[in-house]
């Protein structure tokens, strides 16, 4: 069944169709029509899951902020504020990645927006092409670990943990990873200053200190308030994730209205984008159900348990082996397939061993984040290539992301060694 699934993926059959076909075929061959008796209740459970209703609402919030060009003002203002530093523009991009990631959770929206706005500017200012490409791609993927990430919402369903606990647990690891990126750019500015030059003094002088402060408040404050309203209400236990997501969707409309960026075409484009992304996610979730049922019915869990039993080194070795396997799968598969195919295979082993599922979930989320950067199928690489100006080659993008993949692995290692980074905030809040 696994070989059949991978074979269909490699010849270009869509992931959802590959999942459903291999699951239905081998499930029927393995244990007959019982598969079809169980399948309706599994699918019904997916489409009526109240928590998963947060997905289209958070997607709407993110697409609205993207289509209404809220990120434009963020980038321009933060770029001027940080421009006096070597690597300052890169640091501004990381900060925008944090804000947009916490406000949208959509990698494509952030990478495309930041790539369109900053890559030509960075080239004119003398930035290394590879450094610029790597910074944009890596900053765009921060939305996959920072709440309200779609990855965290789906992992909460798979792990059986509350969305609020995963959101709280992901906050500091996500900020830690952003801080690692900033430190890297500052060190690069000291070691190789020619690759990340500051903005020329004449350009910085075009804005006075008071004007810059006013623009910072005007452009940054609404996004931060929206993020705090949504995440604060979830983490603080005031609202359920779905309720907070609806607040976020409404808040994004208010911000676009106040900014005078909302009109009929933008609303139409937002609704179309929301339906398209949500339909893709739910289609794969539904198609994963026959595959998951067949895998369990055919004894797949026992096979995985037997393989893990052969590993020397105990629980830590098993965790490291799973992390390595997920990282390798990220070169070839998307995070949704990895979450709903590979993760359920390993989950019973770690649940039986008493591993903290909140910490486990954040480890998995940070690992899956790397799949957006790893060649040849990292989506952030495709998104940036699609909007990059002439002169930017695929090689520039691939070389540019390599240091950031290493930085993500460093961040993953720190989280593995210090689980408290993920567990202390949920414990403090009583989740």
Domain ranges of the chain: 50-275+376-429
Q: Note the pLDDT of residue 240.
A: 78
Which of 328-342, 388-402, 413-427 shows the lowest per-residue confidence on average (mean pLDDT)? 328-342
Percent of all residues in the chain with a pLDDT value above 90, rounded to a whole number: 16
Q: Note the pLDDT of residue 357.
A: 92
pLDDT tens digits for 163-175?
Answer: 888 988 999 999 9
Percent of all residues in the chain with a pLDDT value above 70, rounded to a whole number: 91
pTM of the model: 0.78
Beta strand residue intervals within 254-368, DSSP E: none
Q: Note the pLDDT of residue 340.
A: 76
CA distances 161 to 34, 145, 233, 335, 362, Å, are 29, 16, 18, 19, 12
Q: Note the pLDDT of residue 428.
A: 84
- The average pLDDT across 308-312 equals 74
pLDDT tens digits for 348-391?
Answer: 888 888 889 999 999 999 998 888 888 766 778 877 877 777 88
pLDDT tens digits for 218-248?
Answer: 777 887 888 788 877 877 778 877 888 888 8
pLDDT tens digits for 175-223?
Answer: 999 999 999 999 998 898 888 888 776 666 665 667 767 777 777 788 7
Q: Does pLDDT of 5 surpass 70?
A: yes
Mean residue pLDDT across the chain: 82
Q: Does pLDDT of 257 surpass 70?
A: yes
Q: Does pLDDT of 256 surpass 80?
A: yes
Q: Does pLDDT of 403 surpass 90?
A: yes
The total of other beta-carbon atoms located within 10 Å of residue 302's CB is 11
Model confidence at 267, pLDDT cuts 50, 70, 90, reads very high
349 and 342 in contact (C-beta within 8 Å)?
no
CA distances 127 to 119, 198, 256, 383, Å, are 9, 9, 32, 20
Q: Note the pLDDT of residue 39.
A: 86
Q: Note the pLDDT of residue 204.
A: 61
Angle subtended by helix axes 314-329 and 357-370, to nearest 10: 30
Q: Tell me which range, 5-9, 31-35, 289-293, 359-363, is most confidently predicted by mean pLDDT.
A: 359-363
In sequence order, which residues have a C-beta less than 8 Å from that of residue 407 and are 6 or more positions away? Answer: 138, 177, 180, 181, 184
pLDDT tens digits for 19-49?
Answer: 889 889 998 888 788 778 888 888 888 888 7
Q: Does pLDDT of 292 surpass 90?
A: no
Q: Does pLDDT of 285 surpass 90?
A: no
83 and 89 in contact (C-beta within 8 Å)?
yes
In sequence order, which residues have a C-beta less than 8 Å from that of residue 404 and are 6 or more positions away? Answer: 134, 135, 137, 138, 181, 184, 373
Model confidence at 71, pLDDT cuts 50, 70, 90, reads low
Q: Does pLDDT of 254 surpass 80?
A: yes
Model confidence at 106, pLDDT cuts 50, 70, 90, reads low
Q: Note the pLDDT of residue 401.
A: 92
Q: Note the pLDDT of residue 203.
A: 62
C-alpha 326: how far from chain center: 15
The DSSP secondary-structure symbol of 378 reads: -
Q: Note the pLDDT of residue 316.
A: 86
């Amino acid at each position: 069944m696994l070989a059949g699934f991978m074979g269909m993926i490699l010849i270009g059959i869509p992931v959802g169709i590959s999942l459903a076909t291999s699951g239905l075929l081998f499930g029927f061959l393995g244990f007959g029509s019982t598969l079809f008796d169980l399948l309706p209740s599994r699918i019904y459970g997916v489409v009526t899951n109240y928590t998963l209703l947060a997905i289209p609402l958070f997607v709407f919030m993110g697409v609205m902020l993207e289509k209404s060009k809220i990120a434009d003002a963020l980038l321009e203002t933060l770029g001027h504020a940080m421009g006096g530093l070597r690597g300052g523009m890169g640091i501004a991009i990381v900060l925008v990645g944090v804000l947009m990631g916490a406000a949208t959770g959509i990698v494509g929206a952030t990478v495309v927006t930041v790539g369109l706005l900053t890559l030509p500017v960075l080239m004119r200012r003398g930035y290394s092409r590879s450094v610029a490409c790597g910074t944009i791609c890596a900053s765009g993927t921060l939305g996959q670990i920072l709440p309200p990430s779609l990855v965290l919402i789906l992992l909460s369903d798979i792990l059986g943990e509350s969305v609020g606990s995963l959101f709280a647990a992901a906050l500091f690891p996500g900020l830690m990873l952003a801080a690692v990126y900033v430190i890297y750019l500052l060190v690069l500015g000291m070691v190789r200053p020619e690759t990340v030059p500051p903005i020329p003094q004449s350009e910085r002088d075009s804005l006075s200190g008071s004007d810059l402060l006013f623009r910072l408040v005007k452009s940054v404050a609404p996004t931060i308030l929206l993020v705090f309203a949504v995440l604060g209400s979830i983490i603080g236990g005031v609202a359920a994730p779905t309720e907070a997501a609806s607040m976020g969707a409404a808040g994004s409309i208010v911000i676009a209205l106040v900014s005078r960026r909302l009109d009929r075409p933008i609303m139409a484009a937002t609704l179309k984008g929301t339906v398209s992304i949500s339909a893709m996610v739910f289609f794969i979730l539904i198609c994963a159900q026959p595959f998951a049922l067949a895998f369990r019915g055919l004894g797949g869990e026992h096979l995985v348990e037997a393989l893990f039993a052969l590993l020397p080194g105990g629980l830590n070795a098993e965790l490291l082996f799973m992390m390595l396997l997920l990282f390798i799968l990220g070169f070839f598969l998307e995070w949704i397939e990895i979450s709903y195919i590979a993760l359920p295979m390993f989950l019973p082993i770690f649940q039986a061993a008493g591993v903290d599922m909140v910490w486990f979930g954040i480890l998995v989320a940070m690992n899956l984040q790397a799949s957006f950067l790893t060649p040849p199928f990292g989506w952030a690489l495709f998104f940036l290539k699609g909007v990059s100006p002439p002169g930017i080659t695929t090689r520039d993008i691939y070389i540019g992301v390599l240091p950031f993949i290493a930085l993500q692995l460093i961040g993953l290692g720190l989280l593995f060694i210090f689980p408290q980074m993920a567990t202390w905030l949920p414990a403090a809040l009583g989740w």
